[in-house]
Structure 1
Amino acid sequence: MSQTYQIKQNDIVVDLPKTVGAGYGQFWHSRSLYRVVKGSRGSKKSKTTALNYVIRLLKYSWANLLVIRRYSNTNKQSTYTDFKWAANQLKVAHKFKFNESLPEITIKATGQKILFRGLDDELKITSITVDVGSLCWAWFEEAYQIETEDKFSTVVESIRGSLDVPDFFKQITVTFNPWNERHWLKRVFFDEETRRADTFATTTTYKCNEWLDEVDIKRYEDLYHTNPRRARIVCDGEWGVAEGLIYENVTVKDFNKDELLQDSANKLCIGLDFGFTHDPTALCCSLINDTTKEIYVFDEAYKVGLITKEVAKMI
């Protein structure tokens, strides 16, 4: 970090540069409306974000934080635990009241809140209010799990208003592991032509995590030899899907399905998997060429709550 300073808690002194480590100086000090980190595995992005917010909340008594994950039940074992860890690392855990059942964290002296929610129903989040100060900060963790920009924007729009206090600022922090380059996160925050205004976006890797041991480092570096494609994602933080792919050799290009169908080698294949409430109905339309081993996917649908008549109309 670019500044050397300490936190004094009675007789306890915490050296921040030593506690937080290197690699996140610009992120730490950024006041851009959108503060975005695409971080590889082991890049300490979540831990650093939790440390940063503990410091900021104690510094700014008007601030409250909303922590968002795609599913609410994943907060307790991730972001909530990260905040407990951060408060202990900074030796300020006694200043917070931790309510694990909600979960929720309160600063005892001021009543400021750290609220944890999921995007199971994003509209419910828009009505959240706080008793003290302003709900002016939000942290979206593992944001690659959020399917659409609209879901994200619905919550962002609830971070509004202002306070007549010195140094007031609103901020949306977004952290995630690298994901498919066609994900909306790339277009919205990383592509220069389409990125949102007032955005700080960066990519971090395991190389900025000085607390990894030799075993961890060797495990990452071995990937460059054993699985270079995966290494580019897991180690270097490049866009891509590191695991779970059925087909890895995928190319996005324009083609005319009607022209391809004139070749008898290309067979039309329509796949339908019925769902309803929890599992979506999935439709995949493609052409398959057994000779060239190529599949041309030209249409798809993926939606919950469809009855049979609606499925038929969609097809």
Structure 2
Amino acid sequence: MIVMTQVRLSELVAPSFYEIHNDIKHNRYTHYWLKGGRGSTKSSFVSIEIILGVMKDPNANAVALRKVKETIKDSVFEQLVWAIEKLKVTEYWEIKHNPMELTYLPTGQKILFRGADKPRKIKSIKVSRGYVKFIWYEEVDEFLGMEEIRIINQSLMRGGEQFVVFYTYNPPNRVNAWVNEEILIDRPDRKVHHSTYLTVPRDWLGEQFFIEAEHLKKVNEKAYRHEYLGEVTGTGGEVFTNVKARKINDEEIKAFDRIKRGLDFGYAVDPAAYIVCHFDKTRRRLYIFHEIFQVGLSNRKLAELIKKENKSNKLVVADSAEPKSIAELRGYGINIRGAKKGPDSVEYGIKFLQDLEEIIIDPERCPNTLREFVNYELEKDKDGNFKAEFPDKNNHTIDAVRYALEDDMRTGGLSILK
């Protein structure tokens, strides 16, 4: 093992990453999601950590990935070569360009590079010494989603006790982009970190970088916030901008005294969606903390699941377009009735929900509800303009919530539900 004394990390790592460096040093997390805007130096930080990590642990190897193989050389490969040079350890590394590969000469440990065009082929990676401890997904938002990431992780995370997986990206502007949704879900072995150029020493980026940033801030502040601050400013078509994902603990639920239950029917293609929520009328906050969301669910099985949650058999308000299903559930002992519908009810119901101070959704208890609320966007016409009406798809839990809250949505004695 080579002991390096000639370089101070503070000369290479921006202050915003000091805490992450200590977390890695003390093995506090496995997954590090590092998001931010331009010039935040998150990729530089990761490359430094990987080079140091391989040199300090004689059993550690690394794999750096991009979605498209052709983008590797000018991104992760050059970034890791930069780290080797900045750490002044070039003499200890063999740098091969074809195929791209970095070898730590004292031990033969490797840093390999792969494109994820075909994720299942990555399982063929083998190292002669140790295991793949470090995995780096650069521009992870370019990947197709967590299923693809899981396939790769399951192939690479084998044979070792401690893994460090980095996910670096600039957040996509769309609220419903999969990476923006993924970080809303709590995982005890994951840390999410946000950084911007404002935490980086000015001379590292150069004066022109700051001139360009300030110019964009003056002429288009929204674009500046997205590109330089890494904020998800949205496309403008998001229906619900008041959704907050957070854990709703058991103590909170015990104190809820205005619990409502709604049901949207489904079977072959659409899921049955049963929602349990609490509406704080005074503070105008809605808490959603239980869901049943399943395709192909018979009414008998649905009744069993509802009874398991609704032990006191409180009222369930369901889509009145399914009188046969309502009657069947009633026959199974469910206290249920159809929603009382009125004209323009979908629009009024959604506007009611939009007007709430917050819609708080537990991402662990209600992942499908969170996904539908966050993903619900206006559609565009052929000219690229947003349509006036709300789309009638992928809104099963939203409908169930509207049914559950119908008494609170009444206007002039007429229900605004449809």
Residue 289 (structure 1) shift:
10
Report the Cα distance in structure 1 between the residues aligned to 2:109 and 2:388, rounded to whole angstroms. Answer: 54
After the TM superposition, list the runs of 4 or more consecutive aligned residues in structure 1 that deviate by more than 6 angstroms. none
Secondary structure of 2:205's aligned partner: coil
Secondary structure of 2:16's aligned partner: coil
Pick from 41, 44, 47 the counterpart of residue 44 of structure 2.
Answer: 47
TM-score w.r.t. length of structure 1:
0.72
Secondary structure of 1:23's aligned partner: helix
The 5 Å alignment of 1:1-315 reads 9=4, 13-30=6-23, 31=27, 32-163=29-160, 168-179=161-172, 180-189=174-183, 191=184, 194-210=185-201, 211-240=204-233, 248-252=235-239, 288=381, 294=387, 298=391
Report the Cα distance in structure 2 between the residues aligned to 1:111 and 1:8, rounded to whole angstroms. Answer: 17
Q: Does structure 1 conserve the Cα–Cα contact (< 8 Å) formed by 2:59 and 2:129? A: yes
Q: Does structure 2 conserve the Cα–Cα contact (< 8 Å) formed by 1:97 and 1:107? A: yes
The 3 A distance-change label for structure 1 pair 206 and 153 is same
TM-score w.r.t. length of structure 2:
0.55
The 3 A distance-change label for structure 1 pair 205 and 288 is closer
Q: Which has the larger radius of gyration?
A: 2
Q: Does structure 1 conserve the Cα–Cα contact (< 8 Å) formed by 2:14 and 2:41? A: no
Among the aligned pairs, what percent are the same residue?
Answer: 26
Figure out how many residues of one structure are paired with residues of the other and give that number.
Answer: 249
Report the Cα distance in structure 1 between the residues aligned to 2:187 and 2:211, rounded to whole angstroms. Answer: 37
The 3 A distance-change label for structure 1 pair 252 and 36 is same
Secondary structure of 1:223's aligned partner: helix
**Root-mean-square deviation (Å):** 2.7
Residue 274 of structure 1 corresponds to none
Q: Does structure 2 conserve the Cα–Cα contact (< 8 Å) formed by 1:41 and 1:234? A: yes
The 3 A distance-change label for structure 1 pair 196 and 184 is farther
Q: Which amino acid aligns with 1:122?
A: P
Larger relative contact order, structure 1 or 2 (CA cutoff 8 Å, min sep 6): 1
Secondary structure of 2:225's aligned partner: helix
Q: Does structure 2 conserve the Cα–Cα contact (< 8 Å) formed by 1:205 and 1:235? A: yes
Report the Cα distance in structure 2 between the residues aligned to 1:156 and 1:219, rounded to whole angstroms. Answer: 38
Residue 94 (structure 1) shift:
1.2
The 3 A distance-change label for structure 1 pair 64 and 252 is same
Report the Cα distance in structure 2 between the residues aligned to 1:170 and 1:297, rounded to whole angstroms. Answer: 45
Secondary structure of 1:132's aligned partner: coil
Show structure 1 runs of 5+ residues with no match. 1-6, 242-247, 254-258, 261-285, 301-315
Higher helix share: 2
Show structure 2 runs of 5+ residues with no match. 241-342, 345-378, 394-418
Report the Cα distance in structure 1 between the residues aligned to 2:134 and 2:190, rounded to whole angstroms. Answer: 15
The 3 A distance-change label for structure 1 pair 129 and 299 is farther
Summarize deviations over 1:161-195 as a string: whole Å, max 9, x none: 344xxxx5112110001112212222222x1xx23
Report the Cα distance in structure 2 between the residues aligned to 1:240 and 1:73, rounded to whole angstroms. Answer: 30
